[in-house]
């Protein structure tokens, strides 16, 4: 729908009981990139896939950065608010429950920012190669919100200390965090898909479909 804030793709779900997925691409991706991943992770789920509204040398992103790994935190907060508003609009437009976000790289980081600044918008999240999007935030409660974090042991972009700190912030807010480090680098792998598919199937059992 053109009336929503983000250009996006919507794929109706074949299984009304399946938790919708919010698909958030990495730098240079668009609203089409993660649709195959969404179908693989939860074949019957409705899929909502927005395009990031920031351009970096012509490449879509969800927020601005100053350099590799250094984010414009004011923009992160603003774009997280925009995305939270988009989720609310998409839920109303398409008759959806709260989604599980599935984000890769920049998409994982904006999902993390939404969790830290707009709790309750997401039913859960799969964060693939995330890092801390904000240096500090107001305390929030994420009581029981399921979050899967998938890091790469050989990731040249994200340090173990950084992603470990993000996991601890989520735990301190009361989220149910499952953080795994895989023997890989930054790119998405089949192992990520296999782990996330099984995790979503289990996490969805505890999510209220009308939340």
The reported pTM is 0.95
List pLDDT tens digits, range 122-175. 999 999 999 999 998 888 999 999 999 999 999 999 999 999 999 999 999 999
Specify whether 186 is catalytic: yes
SS (H, E, C) 93-124: HHCCCCCEEEEECHHHHHHHHHHHHCCCCCCE
**What confidence score (pLDDT) does residue 68 get?**
81
HSE, CB side, 13 Å, CA atoms: give it for residue 71.
Answer: 22
Domain boundaries, the chain: 8-206
- Chain-centre distance of CA 107, in angstroms? 6
**What confidence score (pLDDT) does residue 69 get?**
80
1 pLDDT band, cuts 50/70/90, is very low
Catalytic pick from 42, 105, 179, 192?
105
Assigned fold of 8-206: Rossmann fold (3.40.50)
Specify whether 155 is catalytic: yes
List of E strands, 62-99: 65-67, 70-71
**What confidence score (pLDDT) does residue 38 get?**
98
Catalytic pick from 30, 72, 178, 186?
186
Tell me the average pLDDT across 23-46. Answer: 97
Catalytic pick from 6, 155, 179, 192?
155
> What's the mean pLDDT when you consider all of the chain?
95
181 pLDDT band, cuts 50/70/90, is very high
Specify whether 143 is catalytic: no
């Amino acid at each position: 729908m053109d009336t929503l804030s983000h250009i996006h793709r919507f794929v109706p779900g074949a299984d009304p009981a399946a938790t919708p997925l919010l698909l958030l691409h990495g730098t240079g991706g668009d609203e089409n990139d993660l649709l195959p991943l969404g179908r693989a992770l939860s074949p019957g789920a409705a899929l909502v896939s927005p395009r990031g509204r920031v351009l970096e040398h012509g490449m879509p992103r969800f927020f601005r950065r100053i350099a590799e790994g250094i984010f414009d935190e004011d923009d992160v907060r603003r774009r997280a608010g925009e995305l939270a508003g988009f989720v609310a609009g998409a839920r109303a437009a398409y008759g959806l429950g709260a989604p599980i976000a599935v984000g890769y790289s920049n998409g994982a980081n904006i999902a993390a920012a939404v969790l830290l600044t707009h709790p309750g918008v997401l039913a859960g999240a799969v964060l693939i190669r995330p890092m801390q999007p904000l240096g500090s935030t107001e305390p929030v409660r994420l009581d029981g919100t399921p979050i899967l974090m998938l890091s790469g042991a050989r990731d040249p972009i994200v340090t173990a200390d950084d992603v470990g700190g993000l996991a601890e912030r989520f735990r301190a807010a009361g989220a149910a965090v499952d953080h795994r480090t895989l023997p890989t680098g930054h790119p998405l792998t089949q192992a990520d898909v296999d782990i996330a598919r099984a995790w979503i199937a289990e996490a969805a059992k505890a999510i209220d479909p009308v939340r």
